[in-house]
Amino acid sequence: MSKEDQFRFVSLLALELENGDIALPSLPDVVLKIRRALDSDTADFDQIIQAVSVDPVLTSRLFVFANSAYYNRANVELNTLDAAIGRLGIEVVRNTAMSLAMKQLYAAEKHSHAAKHLRAIWARGMKLSCMAFAVAAKKPDINAESAFLCGLMHEVGKLYIVTKAEEFPQILGNEKSFASMCDEWNSQISKSIIESWGFADEMAESADPERYLDGDTDSPPGLVDVVLVAKLLVDDGGDEGSNFDEVPSGAKLNIDKDTLPGILGIYREKLTSMQAALA
């Protein structure tokens, strides 16, 4: 990749970001319907069932998920959609629908030229989402399902960058340079995409934790802290000997050598369930 190609590509990203032109395909109708139900004062269970029932792929995945070891602790298998949704809860249904939609974006045939890059980004997104869920699961004042969604969308900016690279065939050739470019631009672009999809400001800001992090350890932890710690844990390979209590976000979330094994246990179980449900 020549310096000229790199400059043109980065200039294009900067211009689109400045003009607010960063966008990915709209979310599927079923995801939007579930989100509207969640945003209303009273979620209409029957409307959720109706929205889900017309999507056979999502329906089948929900059955797999509802009967997985993670959600079926009593080993009672369910075979009706309303029972499966009742067991999972509407937020889990939303996140499963969102996960399927995201997986389809990463697996689109039109991006087959970059399949290796997209598979790697998707795999990391799954790890981040499940780790964020596990971290938040230990804090009752933080919604673990919202944390999962933040982790899932955290690197959607890299997906956008890969799709734009179609216009610059040489960009993907230098993997080290391209990876560095993705890391540099992901946070800003991911935040812009999450905002365009209509998610809450706190969720959008979690895409750029280094910028929106409150380093005051006396302040209450939020989704930004959860995502930052999830990233550190995923990058660290889940090393139980790491001193995450020395990181401000880790201290706010009370993560130390005593609590870390429990978090990693939840993470592994959640990741296994998600991989089975989305297979």
User: What is the rounded distance in angstroms from the CA atom of residue 166 to the CA atom of residue 195?
Assistant: 24
- Which pLDDT score is estimated for 144? 95
Predicted local confidence at residue 36, as pLDDT? 77
- Express each pLDDT in 106-129 by its tens digit: 876 666 677 888 888 999 999 999
Diameter of the chain measured on Cα atoms: 61
3-state secondary structure the chain: CCHHHHHHHHHHHHHHHHCCCCCCCCCCHHHHHHHHHHHCCCCCHHHHHHHHHCCHHHHHHHHHHHCCCCCCCCCCCCCCHHHHHHHHCHHHHHHHHHHHHHHHHHCCHHHHHHHHHHHHHHHHHHHHHHHHHHHHHCCCCCCHHHHHHHHHHCCHHHHHHHHHHHHCCCHHHCHHHHHHHHHHHHHHHHHHHHHHCCCCHHHHHCCCHHHHCCCCCCCCCCHHHHHHHHHHHHHCCCCCCCCHHHCHHHHHCCCCCCCHHHHHHHHHHHHHHHHHHHC
User: Closest by alpha carbon to 67, among 83, 52, 51?
Assistant: 83
pLDDT at 44: 73
- Per-domain boundaries in the chain: 3-278
pLDDT at 67: 92
Provide the pLDDT for residue 31. 85
Q: For residue 2, what are its two tokens?
A: 């020549």
- Tell the CATH superfamily of the 3-278 domain: Hypothetical protein af1432 (1.10.3210.10)
- Of the candidates 164, 148, 158, the one whose C-alpha atom is nearest the C-alpha of residue 119 is 158
What are the tokens at 121?
Answer: 């980004």
When computed from its CA atoms, the radius of gyration of the chain, rounded to whole angstroms, is 19
Q: Which residues in the chain come in under a pLDDT of 70?
A: 1-3, 41-43, 108-112, 237-245
Across all residues in the chain, what is the average pLDDT?
85
